[in-house]
């Protein structure tokens, strides 16, 4: 199991990359093996080298899982597999008011009426604003509600394997039964994160879902499974 980890001026910066490196060390110790490996690199273009005859020698990507920023992973998958990664946002199985406690629709800029939370359905980390106007495009459009605290839930093989507070009052805890119900309803990837919030009415609501790449861990450190979550998500993405 091999990983290609992005660095910045030779330094690893993302918390998920640091957690993966520790997980690799732990897994090699636990299983008494050296089968878990990683390679550090600044740019994808650095993978091309010149051989002794002055000819370009291209990187064999087939064994590596890219780990880094959204741009780094997206570029890798596009370059080697011709796949464009799209945001999940709130999947249709979870768009009912039971889980959102607000009106959420998929539409275009023409469907934004009044101030709404607007997020691109076309590109990850693209247009995300509270606004009543947006450039032409496809969006997920949500009514605005008051959120007191936000948590990131880590899901692997349809099982909740971790939960971390990342914004707001950490003393306000979400409804775990409701989170597990969301997981049971959503036919999602083998590994993903589910962000939930607790409203001013003490209701646990879905915020959004992310594929398991380029997501902040906020202290998630299940070292036994982190490499497998990255690997199996990646394999399923490129083979689905």
Instruction: Kindly report the three-state secondary structure assignment for every residue of 115-180.
Output: CEEEEECCCCCCCEEEECCCCCCEEEEECCCCEEEEEEEEEECCEEEEEEEEEECCCCCCCHHHHH
Residue 186 or 61, more confident: 186
- Average pLDDT of span 60-75: 90
Does the pLDDT at position 48 exceed 70?
no
Q: Is residue 159 part of a domain?
A: no
Range with the lowest mean pLDDT among 123-127, 135-139, 163-167? 123-127
Number of structural domains (the chain) is 2
User: Pairing mode, if any, of strands 116-120 and 104-108?
Assistant: unpaired
Tell me, yes or no, whether 33 and 82 share the same domain: yes
Asked if residue 205 lies in contact with residue 101, where contact means CB atoms within 8 angstroms, the answer is yes
Domain carrying residue 115: 103-144
- Whether residue 189 is contained in a domain is answered as no
Lowest mean pLDDT among 36-45, 49-58, 75-84: 49-58
Residue 201 included in any domain = no
Residue 176 placed within a domain:
no
Region of 13 please: left (phi>0), alpha (psi -120 to 50) or beta.
alpha
Structure confidence at residue 38 (pLDDT)? 93
Q: Is residue 130 part of a domain?
A: yes
Is it the case that residue 92 has pLDDT exceeding 90?
A: yes
Does one domain contain both 131 and 70?
A: no
Query: Which pLDDT value is given to residue 34?
Result: 86
63 and 129 fall within a common domain: no
| 229 in Cβ contact with 191 (< 8 Å) | yes
Average pLDDT, the chain: 92
Report if residue 193 sits inside a domain.
no
Collapse the DSSP code of 215 into the 3-class scheme (helix H, G, I; strand E, B; otherwise coil) and give the result: coil
User: Which residues does 36 contact at the CB level (< 8 Å), separation at least 6?
Assistant: 1, 23, 24, 27, 28, 227
* CA pair distance 212, 184, nearest whole angstrom: 18
Q: How far apart are CA 209 and CA 86, in angstroms?
A: 12
State whether the Cα torsion 141-146-152-155 is positive or negative.
Answer: negative
Assess whether 19 and 80 both reside in one domain: yes
Q: Is the Cβ–Cβ distance between 166 and 216 less than 8 Å?
A: yes
Considering the domain architecture, whether residues 75 and 121 belong to the same structural domain is answered as: no
Are residue 42 and residue 10 in the same domain, yes or no? yes
Taken in order 168, 170, 175, 181, the sign of the CA dihedral is positive
Q: Is residue 17 part of a domain?
A: yes
pLDDT band at 53 (very low <50, low <70, confident <90, very high): low
Mean pLDDT over 127-150 rounds to 94
pLDDT of 159 higher than 60: yes
Whether residue 30 is contained in a domain is answered as yes
Same-domain pairing of 15 and 82: yes
Task: Give the range among 31-40, 41-50, 200-209 with minimum mean pLDDT.
Answer: 41-50
Please tell me whether the overall predicted TM-score, pTM, comes out greater than 0.95 for this model: no
Residue length, the chain?
240
């Amino acid at each position: 199991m091999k990983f290609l980890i992005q660095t910045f001026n030779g330094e690893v910066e993302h918390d998920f990359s640091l957690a993966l490196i520790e997980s690799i060390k732990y897994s090699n110790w636990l299983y008494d093996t050296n089968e878990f490996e990683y390679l550090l690199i600044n740019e994808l273009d650095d993978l091309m080298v010149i051989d002794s005859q002055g000819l370009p020698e291209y990187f064999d990507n087939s064994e590596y899982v890219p780990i880094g920023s959204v741009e780094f992973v997206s570029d890798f998958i596009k370059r080697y597999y011709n796949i464009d990664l799209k945001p999940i946002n709130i999947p249709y199985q979870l768009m009912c008011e039971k889980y959102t406690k607000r009106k959420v629709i998929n539409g275009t800029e023409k469907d934004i009426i009044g101030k709404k939370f607007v997020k691109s359905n076309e590109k990850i980390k693209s247009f995300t604003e509270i606004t009543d106007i947006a450039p032409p495009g496809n969006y997920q459009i949500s009514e605005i509600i008051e959120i007191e605290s936000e948590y990131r839930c880590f899901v692997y093989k349809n099982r909740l394997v971790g939960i971390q507070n990342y914004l707001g009052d950490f003393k306000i805890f979400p409804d775990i039964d409701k989170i597990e119900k969301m997981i049971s309803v959503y036919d999602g990837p083998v590994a993903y994160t589910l962000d939930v919030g607790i409203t001013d009415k003490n209701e646990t609501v879905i915020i959004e879902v992310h594929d398991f790449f380029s997501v902040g861990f906020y202290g998630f450190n299940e070292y036994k499974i982190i490499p497998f979550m990255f690997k199996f998500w990646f394999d399923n993405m490129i083979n689905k």
